[in-house]
Structure 1
Amino acid sequence: MENPNNPCRILMVVTGVLTAIGLLLLFSASKSIASVSGSLPVYVKQLIWIIIGILMFLWLKDFDYRHWNKLAHLLYFVILIFLLIVLAIGTGRAGRWIKIGWFNFQPSEFAKFILVIVLARYFSIRDIERFSTILGGVIITGIPFLLILLQPNLGTALLFIIIFFSMAYLAGAKKKHLLILIIIGVLMSPLLWMGLKDYQKQRLIIFLNPWKDPLGKGYNILQSKITIGSGGIIGKGFLKGTQTKLAFLPEFHTDFIFCLLAEEFGLVGVFVLLFLYYVFLSQIHRITLTTQDPFGRLAGTGIMVMFLTQIFVNIGMACGILPVAGIPLPFLSYGGSALIVCFICLATVYNLGKNTALF
Structure 2
Amino acid sequence: MTDPRFHPLNLLRAALRPIDPVLFVLLAVILGYAFVLMQSASPERIPSLFGNAAVALSAMWLAARLSPQRLLSLALPLYAVGVLLLVAVDLFGETSKGATRWLDIGITRIQPSELMKIAMPLMLAWYFQQREGQIGLRDFILAGVLLVVPVGLILVQPDLGTSLLVTAAGFYVIFFAGLSWKLIVPVAFVGIVGVGAIVGFGDQICQPDVDWQVLREYQKHRVCTLLDPTQDPLGKGFHIIQSTIAIGSGGVVGKGWMEGTQTHLSFIPERHTDFIFSVLAEEFGLVGTLVLLASYLLLLLRGFTIALQAPSLAARLLAGSITMIFFTYAFVNMGMVSGILPVVGVPLPFISYGGTALVTLCLGVGILMSIQRSRAIAQG
TM-score above 0.5, yes or no: yes
Closer/same/farther in 2, CA of residues 134 and 62 from structure 1, 3 Å limit: same
Q: Which runs of structure 2 are paired with 1:141-156 in the superposition (5 Å)? A: 141-156=147-162
Q: Which runs of structure 2 are paired with 1:273-352 in the superposition (5 Å)? A: 273-352=292-371
**Aligned residue identity for 2:275:** F
CA contact under 8 A between 1:129 and 1:173: conserved in structure 2? no
Counterpart position of 1:97: 102
Task: Single out whichever of 276-285 and 120-129 deviates more from structure 2.
Answer: 120-129
**Aligned residue identity for 2:32:** A
Counterpart position of 1:139: 145
- Aligned equivalents of 2:217, 2:239: Cα separation in 1: 17
CA contact under 8 A between 1:128 and 1:173: conserved in structure 2? no
Residue 247 of structure 1: CA displacement? 1.1
Residue 275 of structure 1: CA displacement? 0.3
Counterpart position of 1:83: 86
Report SS of the residue matched to 2:271.
Answer: coil
Q: Which runs of structure 2 are paired with 1:4-83 in the superposition (5 Å)? A: 8-31=20-43, 41-83=44-86
- Aligned equivalents of 1:99, 1:211: Cα separation in 2: 40
Of 108, 114, 128 in structure 2, the residue corresponding to residue 109 of structure 1 is 114
Counterpart position of 1:227: 246
Residue 182 of structure 1: CA displacement? 5.3
Q: Which runs of structure 2 are paired with 1:145-224 in the superposition (5 Å)? A: 145-179=151-185, 194-224=213-243
- Aligned equivalents of 1:305, 1:128: Cα separation in 2: 25
CA contact under 8 A between 2:19 and 2:61: conserved in structure 1? no
Closer/same/farther in 2, CA of residues 26 and 98 from structure 1, 3 Å limit: farther
- Aligned equivalents of 2:33, 2:193: Cα separation in 1: 43
- Aligned equivalents of 2:281, 2:119: Cα separation in 1: 33
Closer/same/farther in 2, CA of residues 129 and 64 from structure 1, 3 Å limit: closer
Residue 186 of structure 1: CA displacement? 8.8
Closer/same/farther in 2, CA of residues 55 and 165 from structure 1, 3 Å limit: closer
**Aligned residue identity for 1:344:** L
CA contact under 8 A between 1:69 and 1:117: conserved in structure 2? yes
Report SS of the residue matched to 1:237.
Answer: coil
CA contact under 8 A between 1:112 and 1:160: conserved in structure 2? yes
Report SS of the residue matched to 1:95.
Answer: strand
| Larger gyration radius, structure 1 or structure 2 | 2
May I ask how many residue pairs the two structures share in their alignment? 345
Spell out, residue by residue over 1:231-286, the C-alpha distance to the aligned partner (whole angstroms, 9 max, x if none). 11111111111111111111111001100111111111100000000011111111
CA contact under 8 A between 2:116 and 2:166: conserved in structure 1? no
TM-score computed with the length of structure 2 as normaliser:
0.84
Question: Could you list the runs of 5+ residues in structure 1 that have no partner in the other structure?
Answer: 32-40
Spell out, residue by residue over 1:91-130, the C-alpha distance to the aligned partner (whole angstroms, 9 max, x if none). 4442322344564422222211111111111223236752
CA contact under 8 A between 1:131 and 1:177: conserved in structure 2? no
- Aligned equivalents of 1:117, 1:92: Cα separation in 2: 30
Residue 326 of structure 1: CA displacement? 0.4
**Aligned residue identity for 1:111:** M
- Aligned equivalents of 1:184, 1:133: Cα separation in 2: 24
Task: Single out whichever of 160-169 and 322-331 deviates more from structure 2.
Answer: 160-169
Residue 188 of structure 1: CA displacement? 11
Question: Could you list the runs of 5+ residues in structure 2 that have no partner in the other structure?
Answer: 1-12, 199-210
- Aligned equivalents of 2:185, 2:134: Cα separation in 1: 15
- Aligned equivalents of 1:240, 1:26: Cα separation in 2: 13
Residue 321 of structure 1: CA displacement? 0.8
- Aligned equivalents of 2:252, 2:60: Cα separation in 1: 36
**Aligned residue identity for 2:45:** V
* Sequence identity percentage: 37
Q: CA RMSD in A?
A: 2.5
- Aligned equivalents of 2:338, 2:373: Cα separation in 1: 37
Of 127, 130, 153 in structure 2, the residue corresponding to residue 125 of structure 1 is 130
Counterpart position of 1:240: 259
- Aligned equivalents of 1:159, 1:193: Cα separation in 2: 23
Closer/same/farther in 2, CA of residues 188 and 314 from structure 1, 3 Å limit: closer
- Aligned equivalents of 1:134, 1:23: Cα separation in 2: 42
**Aligned residue identity for 1:9:** P
CA contact under 8 A between 1:310 and 1:329: conserved in structure 2? yes
Spell out, residue by residue over 1:173-229, the C-alpha distance to the aligned partner (whole angstroms, 9 max, x if none). 222233465578899999x95242211111111211111111111111111100111
CA contact under 8 A between 2:128 and 2:135: conserved in structure 1? no
**Aligned residue identity for 1:160:** V
Residue 59 of structure 1: CA displacement? 2.2
- Aligned equivalents of 1:188, 1:106: Cα separation in 2: 32
Report SS of the residue matched to 2:287.
Answer: helix
